[in-house]
Chain A
Amino acid sequence: MVFDSKAFFDILFSTMFIMPALTTLGITMVAMALAILLGFGGAMAALSGVRPLRWLAHCYLGFFRGVPVLVQIVFWYNAIPVLTGNAINLPALIAGTIALGLNEGAYMTEIIRSGLIAVDPGQREAARALGMTRPQAMRRIVMPQALRIIVPPTGNQFIAMLKTTSLLFAIAVPEIFSTGTNIYSQNFKYFEVLAVVSIWYLALTALLTTVQKAVERRLGARKNTRRLAIPAGEHG
Chain B
Amino acid sequence: MALVEIENVHKRLGGSDILRGISLKVDAGEVVCLLGASGSGKTTLLRCINHLETIDQGEIKVAGELVGYARGADGKLRAERDRLTAAKRARIGMVFQRFNLFAHLTALENVTEAPVQVLGMSPDAARRRALDLLASVGLEKKAELYPHELSGGQQQRVAIARALAMEPRLMLFDEPTSALDPELVGEVLETMRRLADGGMTMIVVTHEMSFAREVADRVVMMADGQVVEAAPPEQLFSAPAHPRTQAFLARILAAN
The residues of A with any CB-CB pair to B shorter than 8 Å are 120, 122-123, 125-134, 136, 140-141, 144-145, 148, 222-227, 230, 235-236
A120 to B103, CA, bound (A): 10
16 more A-B contacts (CB under 8 A) besides A122-B98, A224-B104, A235-B145?
A: A120-B103, A125-B52, A126-B159, A127-B102, A130-B90, A130-B114, A130-B118, A131-B89, A131-B91, A136-B86, A141-B113, A225-B103, A226-B148, A230-B148, A235-B149, A236-B145
> In the complex, are the beta carbons of B86 and A128 less than 8 A apart?
yes
Question: CB-defined interface of B159-183 with A at 8 Å, one 1/0 digit per residue?
Answer: 1001100100000000000000000
> In the complex, are the beta carbons of B87 and A131 less than 8 A apart?
yes
Cβ distance A119 to chain B, nearest Cβ, rounded Å: 9
A117 to B52, CA, bound (A): 18
Residues 129-161 of B contacting A (Cβ, < 8 Å): 144-146, 148-149, 159
Cβ distance B234 to chain A, nearest Cβ, rounded Å: 32
A56 to B53, CA, bound (A): 27
> In the complex, are the beta carbons of B102 and A133 less than 8 A apart?
no
> In the complex, are the beta carbons of B52 and A128 less than 8 A apart?
yes
> In the complex, are the beta carbons of B149 and A123 less than 8 A apart?
no
Chain B residues, Cβ within 8 Å of A136: 86, 117-118
A123-B103 contact, Cβ under 8 Å, with A223-B146, A235-B145: yes
How many Cβ-Cβ contacts under 8 Å join chain A to chain B? 84
A39 to B94, CA, bound (A): 33
**Cross-chain contact of B94 among A129, A141, A230 (Cβ < 8 A):** A129
**Cross-chain contact of A236 among B96, B144, B159, B162 (Cβ < 8 A):** B144
Using a Cβ–Cβ cut-off of 8 Å, how many residues does chain B contribute to the interface with A?
Answer: 34
Chain A residues, Cβ within 8 Å of B163: 129-130
> In the complex, are the beta carbons of A145 and B104 less than 8 A apart?
yes
Give A136's nearest chain B residue, CB to CB: B117
Cβ distance B215 to chain A, nearest Cβ, rounded Å: 22
A225 to B148, CA, bound (A): 8
A131-B90 contact, Cβ under 8 Å, with A136-B117, A140-B113: yes
A93 to B166, CA, bound (A): 53
Q: Which of B91, B101, B118, B162 has the most CB of A within 10 A?
A: B118
A5 to B101, CA, bound (A): 63
> In the complex, are the beta carbons of B100 and A122 less than 8 A apart?
yes
> In the complex, are the beta carbons of B103 and A224 less than 8 A apart?
yes
> In the complex, are the beta carbons of A129 and B102 less than 8 A apart?
no
**Cross-chain contact of A126 among B83, B90, B100 (Cβ < 8 A):** B100
Give B97's nearest chain A residue, CB to CB: A122
A144 to B87, CA, bound (A): 23
**Cross-chain contact of A144 among B90, B101, B104, B159 (Cβ < 8 A):** B104
> In the complex, are the beta carbons of B118 and A131 less than 8 A apart?
yes
Give B90's nearest chain A residue, CB to CB: A131
Cβ distance A97 to chain B, nearest Cβ, rounded Å: 34
**Cross-chain contact of B118 among A132, A222, A223, A226 (Cβ < 8 A):** A132
